[in-house]
């Protein structure tokens, strides 16, 4: 009897290390023909997500996963940014900090300015401690909020078949203060946020597909 007969079961190798049998799930021909139409509709819906609609799309548990990750890496706040349809701006659509009301729906980051947009353009995650020393950092938002961004971490966010935005984490201090910088971000923090972005991508895709298909059990 082959390994496929043990789908979902744990198989013991001679060394005693368990291996999970592979679940071979193939496209169902009854549904495969609708794939192109579904992909097109997903792209349309993803383009339509804006600051006033993105948060309502997410299940509460999905938002909790994101906020928990921000706290775990020591971020003062985290933000989800989506590119506008023309990819001229990154728009903040979800923020976990006390300035969320001043940020979401009231600020746009030009795609040709700042370090954060580099992650969207080159799809490379990044950490920048003492980010205020980098001439490429756009300090427009800091001046607006009376804050100094000391450390920043940015990872890409992909769903509905392509990179749609980024997730940023920041450590802050008030402007015009002599207090020391926060501890900064470490490589393991970046790894955690990369994993979180991957999980968020899957959850968003699940929510979009389930809602478009009218599947029961896709709860808010």
Residue 132 lies in a domain: yes
Residue 184 lies in a domain: yes
Residue 135 lies in a domain: yes
Query: DSSP states of 53-116 as a string?
Result: THHHHS-HHHHHHHHHHHHHTT-SEEEEEEE-TTSSEEEEEEE-STTHHHHTTT--EETTSSSH
Structural domain count of the chain: 1
Whether the CB-CB separation of 95 and 77 falls below 8 Å is answered with yes
Residue 102 lies in a domain: yes
Residue 220 lies in a domain: no
Half-sphere exposure of 168 (CA within 13 A, CB side): 26
Q: Which of 105, 208, 108, 109 is nearest to 158 (CA)?
A: 208
Residue 143 lies in a domain: yes
Q: Give the separation between CA 2 and CA 121, rounded to whole angstroms.
A: 46
pTM of the model: 0.86
Residue 42 lies in a domain: no
Indicate which CATH number applies to the domain containing 171.
3.30.450.40
**In tens digits, what is the pLDDT along the chain, a chain of 220 residues?**
333 333 444 445 556 666 667 778 888 888 888 889 999 999 999 999 988 889 888 888 899 999 999 999 999 999 999 999 999 999 999 999 998 999 999 999 999 999 999 999 999 999 999 999 999 999 999 999 999 999 999 999 999 999 999 999 999 999 999 999 999 999 999 999 999 999 999 999 999 999 898 887 665 5
Domain of residue 83 covers: 50-213
Give the CA radius of gyration of the chain: 20
């Amino acid at each position: 009897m082959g390994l496929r007969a043990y789908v979902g079961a744990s198989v013991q190798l001679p060394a005693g290390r368990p291996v999970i049998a592979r679940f071979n799930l193939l496209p169902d021909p009854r549904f495969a023909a609708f794939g192109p139409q579904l992909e097109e509709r997903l792209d349309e819906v993803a383009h339509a997500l804006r600051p006033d609609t993105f948060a309502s799309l997410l299940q509460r548990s999905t938002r909790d996963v994101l906020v928990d990750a921000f706290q775990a890496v020591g971020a003062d706040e985290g933000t989800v940014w989506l590119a506008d349809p023309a990819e001229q701006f990154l728009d903040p659509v979800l923020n976990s900090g006390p300035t969320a009301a001043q940020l979401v729906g009231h600020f746009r980051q030009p795609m040709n300015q700042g370090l954060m947009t580099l992650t969207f353009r080159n799809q490379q995650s990044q950490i920048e401690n003492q980010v205020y020393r980098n001439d490429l950092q756009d300090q427009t938002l800091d001046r607006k909020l009376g804050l100094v961004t000391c450390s920043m971490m940015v990872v890409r966010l992909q769903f509905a078949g392509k990179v749609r935005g980024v997730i940023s984490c920041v450590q802050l201090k008030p402007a015009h203060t002599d207090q020391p910088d926060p501890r900064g971000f470490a490589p393991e923090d970046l790894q955690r946020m990369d994993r979180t972005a991957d999980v968020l991508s899957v959850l968003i895709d699940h929510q979009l597909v389930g809602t478009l298909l009218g599947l029961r059990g896709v709860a808010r």
